[in-house]
Amino acid sequence: MTMQWTAAMTIALLVSVSIAYECSAIEEDMDYDGYDIRSTTQVRAEDCCKDCFDTNACVLFVWTNGTCWLKSSTSGKRSRAFGKRVGYVHRSDQCGPILDNTDYTYYYSVDLGSTFQSRAEACCSDCANWYGCAAWVWYNDSVWMKNGVAGTGTCYLKSLDAAMSNRSKTARPGRRAAELLHPLWTRPSITFPSRTSDSSSGVPTSILVALGFGVFVACMAWCYKYCPSENTPPATPNFRLTRECASVAVDGSVLPLTWFNEPDESGSPRAIPFQEKLATTLIYFTHTVMTTTKFNLHRDALWTESLEALLLIRPESFASKTKIKFLGEDGVDAGGIQREWYSLMAHAFLDHELFVVHANRMLGLNPLVADPTHFLALGRFLARAIIDGQVLPLSLTAPLFKALLGTPLSIHDVRYIDEMTYKSLLFVRDTDCIEALDLDFTWTLPDGRSVELVAGGADVAVTSANQAEYVACLVRYWLFDSVRTPLEHVVRGFYDVVDPVVIANFDYKELELVLCGTTDINVVEWQFETVVTANLTASPALAWFWDVVERDMQQHDRAKLLQFTTGSARVPLQGFKALTGHDGNLCPFTLRGVPYTKGAMPKVQTCFNRILLPLYPSRKLMREALFVLVNMEIQDFTMQ
């Protein structure tokens, strides 16, 4: 009887406990695309709130003409949707109560990212779906988004450490905050070794192995032997054709396990999402970088004093946070002055000609700079920007990011430097009449000087027997030998500051996003400014393409797709209409439909900002192909 009574009381208690919820004020003339769960009928928009709460996974509703459209995501917001009304639900079973005038500012609190939401109640869903997020803070700071959505608030998404200590909670007028009750994430399987005192001195030497002739030739030979043919599809979405070579370049041993998670059911390694890598890296730096280095600078001597500070910093302070003080000014660096310094120094490196502008408007290293220590400072500057969470206004070329990662380069990377040379190399590689070209193992520089690619190269004729070696020597010269000194110093300076095992989690496209950020890519503008061929316009494949880009891809996926096609993850300041080709002339983003054959992959023509898109018979095939594209290395079967 006692057990029955206890059970009855327990059931009664559970039934009596209801999960509370809060509804935001109604927003007028707003809409959200997609993510519909179901619909209900209500005369008033305010009555949709309970319907949303009673529906599993519902976080907001859109009311129009008596119908409540219940939605599972805060993505796809659109303004100027006249007659439509939107409300958000804050569920107490997902997030704790919203605390007014509260912020999380504890030292270990990490901002993982931010989203634009006009109501604090909408932040809970964003936090629940952001890897690593355990708390959020909403502030009514006016923002303007390029797609025309005028918001009046930002959700700042905080790491697990923000919610673990009461010391992190600070009274700040106007802020609203809450914690995620059941974070939908676990500690990642990625592990980092502890940083030892001599790690900064030993690691760069092994990283620079990637710059040596031996690894380069070995990787070229491996790729000639094992690279799939033009029509061979990749084995997995994150398949790396040169991963064995890259592992040698990184640490001289085996492929770092941190590059992949455990294999999935098919036995193939699962690609770690970029958002997960970034969150893990931010948390790692939060727990390992415990010191701060203060730079006291005169604004009128910014370049010389900053350069000296970067070069003379003590080894024990290499990996430290940066605080800036401009002497003679009253400002206290709470982040804004640091951000200004990074921007000013990025432009200073440009002004002092450490970079050259390639034909595709990307920046490569300038081998004519007299003082190589400037490049050592540049490497430390880039690495400190990662630790400080700053993005730089620099459009650096892809081979530089590959060199920083120790990723072997190939003939295709020459296109980032000079498109005409790249085409010439392809012709020399593929021609059956190499003797008719009357070539030797030399290269003529623009100033007329001749460089020997091998010892005594002027006396070595290029024949069919040494044709592949000649191409490899030319590629090595363009990518390594011509910039060997500045590249060695940049890599050495970079790994003075950061542990290579941490950075090895990113591919070169992701490292560009970490260092240089990405613009808020406006899919509507992108679509409007795109040129489409007639056969694709008449096919449902066009609608499927844009539907996948808008609904299925995250911002970093879109940036990768843009980078894959145009060579840059950023949109020009004037928008998509200002995209240029390899010759600097305006060249719109173009989709050209091509016949579909089983297993066909999209191909890109970067010099024309063009994707050759097979006319896939289903949206599923389109989605699979696009996600393979943004997660793979550029190879013959994806590039023309």
Query: pLDDT tier at 547 (50, 70, 90 boundaries)?
Result: very high
For position 157, what pLDDT does the model report?
82
Backbone φ/ψ region at 70: left (φ over 0), alpha (ψ -120 to 50), beta: beta
| DSSP class of 168 | G
Residue type, 166: N
d(CA 570, CA 560): 10
For position 395, what pLDDT does the model report?
84
CB count within 10 Å of CB 501 equals 19
Query: What SS3 class is residue 613?
Result: strand
Judged against a pLDDT cut of 50, whether residue 248 lies above it is answered with no
Residue type, 639: M
Tell me the domain boundaries of the chain.
21-89, 99-179, 192-409+480-516, 411-479, 518-630
Query: pLDDT tier at 110 (50, 70, 90 boundaries)?
Result: low
CB count within 10 Å of CB 34 equals 13
For position 260, what pLDDT does the model report?
37
Mean pLDDT of 449-461: 89
Mean pLDDT of 243-256: 31
Judged against a pLDDT cut of 50, whether residue 541 lies above it is answered with yes
For position 142, what pLDDT does the model report?
46
Judged against a pLDDT cut of 70, whether residue 184 lies above it is answered with no
Q: Residue for token digits 């590249």?
A: 487
Lowest mean pLDDT among 91-105, 177-191, 287-301, 307-321: 177-191
Residue 325 backbone phi and psi in degrees, to 5: -130, 115
CA 100 to chain centre: 34
Of residues 549 and 444, more confidently modeled: 549
For position 156, what pLDDT does the model report?
83
H or E stretch at 351: helix 336-351
- % of residues, the chain, pLDDT over 70: 70
For position 580, what pLDDT does the model report?
67
- Average pLDDT in the chain: 74
For position 246, what pLDDT does the model report?
32
d(CA 125, CA 127): 5
Tokens of 526: 């992108």
Judged against a pLDDT cut of 70, whether residue 155 lies above it is answered with yes
Could you tell me which of 481, 471, 396, 398 has the C-alpha nearest to residue 445? 481
Residue 627 backbone phi and psi in degrees, to 5: -75, -30
Query: pLDDT tier at 506 (50, 70, 90 boundaries)?
Result: confident
| Model pLDDT for residues 596-618, shown as the tens digit of each residue | 998 888 988 876 888 999 999 99
Judged against a pLDDT cut of 80, whether residue 354 lies above it is answered with yes
Q: Please, what is the angle between helix 508-516 and helix 398-405, to 10°? A: 110
Tokens of 212: 């040596």
For position 239, what pLDDT does the model report?
27
For position 33, what pLDDT does the model report?
78
H or E stretch at 104: strand 99-104
Q: DSSP letters of 38-53?
A: EEEE-SSGGGHHHHHH
Beta bridge mates, 158? 111, 135
Q: Residue for token digits 């290029």?
A: 462
Please compute, for residue 235, the number of CA atoms within 13 A of its CA located in the half-sphere on the CB side: 11
The yes-or-no answer to whether 21-89 and 99-179 have a common fold is yes
d(CA 388, CA 342): 10
Query: What SS3 class is residue 173?
Result: strand
**Virtual torsion, Cα 521, 524, 528, 533, nearest 10 deg:** 90
Beta bridge mates, 246? none
Q: Where are the beta strands (DSSP E) in 354-410?
A: 355-357, 363-365
Tokens of 141: 């700071």
Judged against a pLDDT cut of 60, whether residue 433 lies above it is answered with yes
Could you tell me which of 566, 588, 554 has the C-alpha nearest to residue 639? 566
For position 168, what pLDDT does the model report?
60
Mean pLDDT of 245-259: 31
Query: pLDDT tier at 145 (50, 70, 90 boundaries)?
Result: very low
Domain with residues 518-630, CATH architecture: 2-Layer Sandwich (3.30)
Tokens of 86: 């939107």
Lowest mean pLDDT among 32-41, 44-53, 179-188, 503-512: 179-188
Query: pLDDT tier at 230 (50, 70, 90 boundaries)?
Result: very low
CB count within 10 Å of CB 428 equals 17
H or E stretch at 307: helix 302-312
Query: What SS3 class is residue 564?
Result: helix
CA 104 to chain centre: 26
Beta bridge mates, 85? 28, 63
Judged against a pLDDT cut of 60, whether residue 224 lies above it is answered with no
Is 607 a known active-site residue? yes
Q: Which residues of 342-380 are buried (b: 16+ CB within 10 A; e: fewer)?
A: beebbebbeeeebbbebbbbbbbbbeebeeeebbbbbbb
Of residues 18 and 30, more confidently modeled: 30
d(CA 38, CA 31): 16
Mean pLDDT of 437-445: 88
Q: Residue for token digits 């449902």?
A: 540
99-179 — its CATH code?
3.50.4.10
Residue type, 589: F
H or E stretch at 383: helix 373-388
For position 617, what pLDDT does the model report?
94
Tokens of 59: 């976080």
SS (H, E, C) 97-141: CCEEEEEECCCCCCEEEEEECCCHHHHHHHHHCCCCCCEEEEECC
Query: pLDDT tier at 332 (50, 70, 90 boundaries)?
Result: low
For position 331, what pLDDT does the model report?
59
Tokens of 632: 């793979």
CA 348 to chain centre: 25
For position 195, what pLDDT does the model report?
44
| Model pLDDT for residues 456-486, shown as the tens digit of each residue | 988 999 998 999 899 988 888 888 888 888 9
Of residues 236 and 626, more confidently modeled: 626
For position 242, what pLDDT does the model report?
34
For position 626, what pLDDT does the model report?
92
Cβ-based neighbours of 604, under 8 Å, separated by 6 or more:
564, 565, 610, 611, 612, 634, 638, 639, 640
Judged against a pLDDT cut of 60, whether residue 633 lies above it is answered with no
d(CA 412, CA 482): 17
Helix and strand numbers, DSSP H then E, in the chain: 21, 23
Could you say which of 3.90.1750.10, 3.40.50.1460, 3.40.50.300, 3.40.1710.10 is the CATH number of the domain covering 192-409+480-516?
A: 3.90.1750.10
Could you tell me which of 496, 576, 569 has the C-alpha nearest to residue 529? 576
| DSSP class of 550 | I
Tokens of 151: 């918001």
Judged against a pLDDT cut of 90, whether residue 339 lies above it is answered with no
| Model pLDDT for residues 40-66, shown as the tens digit of each residue | 999 899 889 888 888 877 888 999 888
d(CA 253, CA 485): 25
Mean pLDDT of 482-499: 90
Are 106 and 161 spatial neighbours (Cβ–Cβ below 8 Å)? yes
Mean pLDDT of 422-430: 89
- Domain 21-89 class? alpha beta
411-479 — its CATH code?
3.30.2160
| Model pLDDT for residues 66-102, shown as the tens digit of each residue | 899 998 877 777 766 778 898 887 665 677 888 888 8
Are 441 and 531 spatial neighbours (Cβ–Cβ below 8 Å)? no
